[in-house]
Amino acid sequence: MHATTANQTSPALKISKLRKRFDGPEVVKGISFEIRAGEIFGLLGPNGAGKSTTINMIAGVTRIGGGRVEIFGLDNVRDYRLTRRLTGVMHQEIVIDNFFTIDRSLRIHSGYFGVDDDPAWRNMLIDRLGLRPHLGKVIIKLSGGLKRRMMIAKALIHKPKLLILDEPTAGVDVELRHSLWDFVREINNQGTSILLTTHYLEEAEQMCERIAIMNHGEILALEKTSSLLQRCGRRELVLQLKHPLASPPPELADLEPRLEGEGLILTLPVPQGAASGELLGRISSLGLQVAEIETRQPNLEDIFIEMTGLKNNGEGEA
């Protein structure tokens, strides 16, 4: 028998051994992960990693090649009517009702999911996303930033419990990006679970509780953002010296120091679990004259490059 309601105790999303092949080799190779109810989860990876294909299978836009997708405990093939209603998706490119005005599109869109239009909710989205002055504009003519805001409103119009955002802030300016992040956090605080793909690693670092890094159709890492940063990236102490050194001090050889900037910049990776204070003690005992000290924290970009071997420039050309 088919399920009739979402199971509130189930994960918001559970993907099991999901696979996809188009004409050539497999582009999603049996991946599994879960998103807890209430979580903001980031799926990161360079171009062609298989993120959009994964999202499209979750959303039911692309046929699943193997494995299964459950949304709040419901199978997205067998119970697709319910799972579609529970899920709001902002795709990268797919835009329907291009020739409607923003107003018309938002008024009718929840009907596609069998959900009645709720004017209070619709007006909240219109105001929070700054769409009010643009309601009469036709979607195909909107600027990039406005189109993104409209697409987020549309993804949320039927009050989904799982919101999927595929590159929500690609190509929008910094100010709008930050205000969209605030809005997404607010929606999350109200109880909506969120799956986000992004090329902006700062976005993932700030927004996501857990992150999966995907490349060539496989998940390379999946863990809490904080522990990923701690495990993969090493904190470094950067000393700007008053007098140049010819070589790194042999007393610090165990730390594998690097000497740069014509002998004036000494960088010391801080070992796991060590306090910067201990290192400073060792440095001062050497009698080095230090002009400035700074600590460099690892960021997601370092980890991303290490895992995928690719540099990310933040504009989608990883």
Ligand X SMILES: Nc1ncnc2c1ncn2[C@@H]1O[C@H](COP(=O)(O)OP(=O)(O)OP(=O)(O)O)[C@@H](O)[C@H]1O
Check binding of 48 to ligand X (CB under 6 A): yes
Cα–Cα distance for residue pair 69/13, rounded to 1 Å: 7
Segment interacting with ligand X, rule: CB under 6 A, options 48-56, 70-78, 81-89, 243-251:
48-56
Distance of closest approach, residue 311 Cβ to ligand X, in angstroms: 15
Q: Among 19-27, 221-229, 259-267, 269-277, which window interacts with ligand X (CB under 6 A)?
A: 19-27
Between 92 and 276, CB nearer to ligand X: 92
Q: In what order do the strands lie in the sheet with 258-260?
A: 258-260, 265-269, 236-241, 290-296
With CB under 6 A as the contact rule, which of the stretches 1-9, 20-28, 120-128, 141-149 interacts with ligand X? 20-28
Q: Which of 11, 12, 44, 45 is close enough to bind ligand X by CB under 6 A?
A: 45
Nearer to ligand X, 6 or 18 (CB): 18
| Alpha-carbon gap, residue 163 to 111, rounded angstroms | 18
Closest CA to 210 of 224, 228, 227: 224
Asked if 51 touches ligand X (CB under 6 A), the answer is: yes
Sort strands 265-269 and 236-241 into parallel, antiparallel or unpaired. Answer: antiparallel
Query: At closest approach, how far in Å is the CB of 212 from ligand X?
Result: 12
Identify the residue among 22, 108, 124, 132 touching ligand X (CB under 6 A): 22
Report the DSSP pairing between strands 40-44 and 210-215.
parallel
Report which of 88, 87, 73, 89 is spatially closest to residue 4, judged by C-alpha positions.
73
Q: Is 52 in the site for ligand X (CB under 6 A)?
A: yes
Query: What is the rounded CA–CA span in Å between residue 250 and residue 63?
Result: 60
Judged by CB under 6 A, does residue 49 bind ligand X? yes
Which residues bind to ligand X, rule: CB under 6 A?
22-23, 27, 45, 47-53
